């Protein structure tokens, strides 16, 4: 791979440092325990604290630093080409409820930012879903009509602020873009000021749904709570079997500085060319930060470096003079009917709630989830509660997506165990790369660093046992079945796995085999 310029870090993470919160070291009792400190978890905890509940956020790493710290941060009710599909699958009322719940989330962030005096760089701009090919115009026109019928200020247009021609686009007014960490860290600070608790480096590994509920952390501390909210992006507990209805995917992000006068004045997305999403953010005097997302792929699918190169080439081609400053990757999960799961964790759950399956639209869905779960816990009813109910199942509508997802999982679960290894021997692994190798009859995930030192861990994901694959660009082990990610030393980077890959001892002399 040609080395791309700029920082290999999210602009949101690099530009704002968060306050440190200590790890939980002893037992704790609260009204509500929120597992996960991303946008859904922080928004839920803030709402509940404001409603007078004692709340603790338990975050495995740092708050607003996981998926939320690596988002594109579009705050919008325009979620690609979704309203025509919703109109067909749910009817006019279902599409209207979805649009209303999402647009209310956009307006709510704007209102809260003013109320708390949060300078989160919030800008009101239109959102576009566009196509360059004339073959897609009819689909775009149908989407514009469906979005209008759903109650959104939508129109079909053929002109945009993009520096290249399009065949047509759905334009939706009154959307927003913002700095997600500035917003969420301010909410977290306000929450703590109201008596709430935040614990970082506190990974939850077990849940007992008793009365009260009990959570156990990796460090052995116990948290007792009347209610529990699982907001870990991909649920870390399997009892609801949601993993069979969630498909993980990753997208790459390229950020580049451009002159302010070249700002396309909006947020854009197309499904063409394996997805291309464009927006900008403030970036110094007279400049804007162009943020381009795309190259969607499943975790564990290799050649990520090539995908970065293709996205960078597209950015330079479409925005001549753009100077790359950052690059990072985002991950999300999509449900089999494209609607998030927000509500009671499973049919028998009385005090455990979940928020997941945002389908790459986590900003509005995270805010919506915080308000919806708070309504559940405080005994209120929102009009869209049933729309997002995790216990719903629409066999006819979901069957094709469900079968396709399970076939993909089965392919990896069985196929990755066939005799052929990902590499023939440890000697074949070049510095700075990794591969799965059979060592003394067992599959090992082996990484060789730039100095030639070798590190080996079990190749079996600790979630359900699929074989991990190496991501060459991010230097991480990824599970192609459900999206768990691990550092080269086996530590968990992203769930649903909550236990590290076990270390493996290599035969004597292997570590120095190429020296």
Structure confidence at residue 2 as a pLDDT band (50, 70, 90): low
> Which among 268, 251, 452, 247 is positioned nearest to 358, based on CA atoms?
247
Structure confidence at residue 380 as a pLDDT band (50, 70, 90): very high
Cβ pair 271, 167 in contact under 8 A: no
501 and 373 inside one domain: no
pLDDT of residue 418: 39
* Percent of the chain residues past pLDDT 70, beyond the cut: 91
- Between 415 and 263, the more confident residue is 263
pLDDT of residue 304: 85
343 inside domain: yes
* DSSP assignment string, 304-365: HHHHHHHHHHHHHHHSTT-EEEEEEEEEEEEETTS--EEEESSTT-SSEEEEE--TT-HHHH
Query: Is pLDDT at 514 greater than 50 in this prediction?
Result: no
387 and 443 inside one domain: no
173 inside domain: no
Q: How many domains does the chain have?
A: 2
35 inside domain: yes
Question: 124: how many CB neighbours lie within 10 A of its CB?
Answer: 13
pLDDT digits (tens, 9 = 90+) for 147-161: 999 999 999 999 999
342 and 240 inside one domain: yes
β partners of residue 470: 477
Dmax of the chain from CA atoms? 68
User: CA dist 90 to 25, 83, 146, 304, 366, Å?
Assistant: 47, 10, 12, 36, 22
58 and 187 inside one domain: yes
- Give the mean model confidence (pLDDT) for residues 61-84: 95
Phi, psi angle pair for 255, to nearest 5°: -115, 140
pLDDT digits (tens, 9 = 90+) for 59-71: 999 999 988 999 9
26 inside domain: yes
**Residue 177 per-residue DSSP state:** E
pLDDT digits (tens, 9 = 90+) for 168-198: 999 999 999 999 999 999 999 999 999 999 9
- pTM of the model as a whole: 0.83
Phi, psi angle pair for 58, to nearest 5°: -115, 110
390 and 430 inside one domain: no
Q: What is the domain extent for residue 499? A: 426-512
- Give the mean model confidence (pLDDT) for residues 333-350: 92
CATH value at residue 239 = 3.50.50.60
CATH value at residue 446 = 2.102.10.10
Phi, psi angle pair for 386, to nearest 5°: -70, -30
pLDDT of residue 455: 84
pLDDT of residue 423: 59
Give the 3-state secondary structure of residue 413. Answer: helix
H or E stretch covering 50: helix 39-50
- Between 452 and 513, the more confident residue is 452
pLDDT of residue 414: 42
Structure confidence at residue 452 as a pLDDT band (50, 70, 90): confident
**Please, which contacts does 183-186 make with residues 24 or more away whose CB atoms are closer than 8 Å?**
183/109, 183/113, 183/118, 183/120, 183/122, 184/39, 184/42, 184/43, 184/63, 184/64, 184/68, 185/16, 185/18, 185/19, 185/63, 185/64, 186/116, 186/118, 186/120
> Which among 212, 236, 232 is positioned nearest to 32, based on CA atoms?
212
227 and 372 inside one domain: yes
Q: Is 43 left (phi over 0), alpha (psi -120 to 50) or beta?
A: alpha
342 inside domain: yes
Q: Which of 17-26, 369-378, 435-444, 494-503 has the lowest mean pLDDT?
A: 435-444
195 inside domain: yes
Mean pLDDT over each residue of the chain, to the nearest integer? 89
**Residue 463 per-residue DSSP state:** T
> Which among 76, 69, 77, 104 is positioned nearest to 371, based on CA atoms?
104
- Give the mean model confidence (pLDDT) for residues 243-260: 90
pLDDT of residue 405: 42
- Between 442 and 471, the more confident residue is 471
Q: Which of 136-140, 152-156, 217-221, 502-506 has the lowest mean pLDDT?
A: 502-506
379 and 436 inside one domain: no
376 and 498 inside one domain: no
Alpha carbons 445 and 456: distance in angstroms, whole number: 6
216 and 343 inside one domain: yes
pLDDT of residue 415: 43
pLDDT digits (tens, 9 = 90+) for 3-49: 788 888 999 999 999 889 999 999 999 999 999 999 999 999 999 99
Cβ pair 200, 23 in contact under 8 A: yes
pLDDT of residue 419: 39
pLDDT of residue 409: 46
Query: Is pLDDT at 398 greater than 70 in this prediction?
Result: no
240 and 342 inside one domain: yes
Alpha carbons 56 and 9: distance in angstroms, whole number: 29
- Between 379 and 234, the more confident residue is 379
342 and 239 inside one domain: yes
**How do beta strands 28-35 and 55-58 pair?**
parallel
User: CA dist 117 to 41, 49, 113, 303, Å?
Assistant: 21, 19, 6, 44
Q: Which stretches within 51-196 are classed as H helix?
A: 83-116, 137-149, 180-193
440 and 507 inside one domain: yes
300 inside domain: no
> Does 496 sit behind a cis peptide bond, omega within 30 degrees of 0 on the bond before it?
yes
Structure confidence at residue 239 as a pLDDT band (50, 70, 90): low
Alpha carbons 367 and 40: distance in angstroms, whole number: 6
358 inside domain: yes
């Amino acid at each position: 791979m040609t080395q791309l310029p700029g920082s290999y870090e999210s602009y949101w993470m690099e530009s704002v440092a968060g306050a440190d919160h200590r790890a939980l070291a002893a037992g704790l009792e609260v009204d509500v325990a929120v597992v996960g400190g991303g946008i859904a978890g922080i928004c839920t905890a803030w709402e509940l604290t404001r409603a007078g509940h004692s709340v603790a956020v338990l975050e495995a790493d740092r708050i607003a630093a996981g998926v939320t710290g690596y988002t594109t941060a579009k705050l919008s009710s325009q979620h690609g080409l979704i309203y025509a599909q919703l109109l067909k699958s749910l009817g006019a009322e279902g599409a209207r409820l979805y649009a209303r719940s999402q647009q209310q989330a956009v307006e709510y962030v704007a209102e809260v930012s003013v109320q708390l005096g949060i300078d989160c760089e919030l800008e009101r701009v239109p959102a576009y879903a566009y196509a360059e090919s004339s073959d897609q115009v009819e689909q775009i026109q149908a989407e514009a009509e469906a979005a209008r019928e759903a109650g959104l200020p939508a129109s079909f247009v053929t002109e945009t602020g993009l520096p290249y021609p399009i065949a047509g686009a759905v334009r939706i007014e009154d959307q927003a873009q913002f700095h997600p960490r500035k917003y969420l860290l301010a909410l977290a600070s306000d929450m703590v000021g109201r008596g709430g608790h935040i614990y970082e480096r506190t990974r939850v590994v077990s849940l007992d749904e008793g009365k009260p509920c009990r959570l156990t952390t990796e460090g052995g501390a116990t948290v007792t709570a009347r209610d529990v909210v699982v907001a870990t992006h991909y649920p870390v507990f399997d009892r609801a079997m949601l993993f069979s209805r969630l498909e993980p995917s990753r997208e790459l992000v390229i950020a580049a500085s451009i002159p302010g006068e070249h700002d396309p004045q909006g947020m854009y997305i197309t499904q063409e060319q394996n997805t291309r999403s464009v927006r900008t953010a403030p970036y110094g005097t007279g400049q804007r930060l162009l943020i381009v997302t795309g190259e969607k792929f499943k975790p564990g699918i290799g050649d990520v470096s090539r995908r970065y190169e293709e996205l960078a080439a597209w950015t330079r081609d479409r925005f001549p003079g753009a100077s790359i400053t950052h690059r990072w990757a985002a991950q999300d999960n999509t449900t089999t009917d494209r609607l998030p799961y927000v509500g009671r964790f499973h049919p028998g759950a009385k005090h455990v709630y979940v928020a997941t399956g945002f389908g790459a639209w986590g900003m509005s869905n995270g805010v919506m989830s915080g308000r919806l779960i708070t309504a559940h816990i405080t005994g209120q009813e929102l009009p869209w509660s049933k729309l997002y109910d995790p216990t719903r199942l629409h066999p006819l509508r979901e069957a094709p997506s469900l079968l396709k997802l399970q076939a993909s999982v089965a392919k990896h679960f069985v196929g990755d165990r066939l005799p052929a290894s990902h590499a023939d021997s440890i000697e074949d692994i070049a510095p700075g790369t990794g591969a799965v190798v059979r060592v003394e009859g067992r599959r090992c995930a082996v990484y060789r660093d730039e100095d030639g030192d070798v590190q080996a861990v079990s190749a079996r994901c600790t979630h359900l046992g699929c074989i991990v694959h190496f991501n060459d660009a991010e230097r991480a082990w990824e599970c192609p079945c459900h999206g768990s990610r691990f550092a080269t030393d086996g530590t968990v980077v992203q769930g649903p796995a909550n236990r590290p890959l076990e270390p493996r001892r290599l035969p004597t002399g292997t570590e120095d085999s190429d020296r």
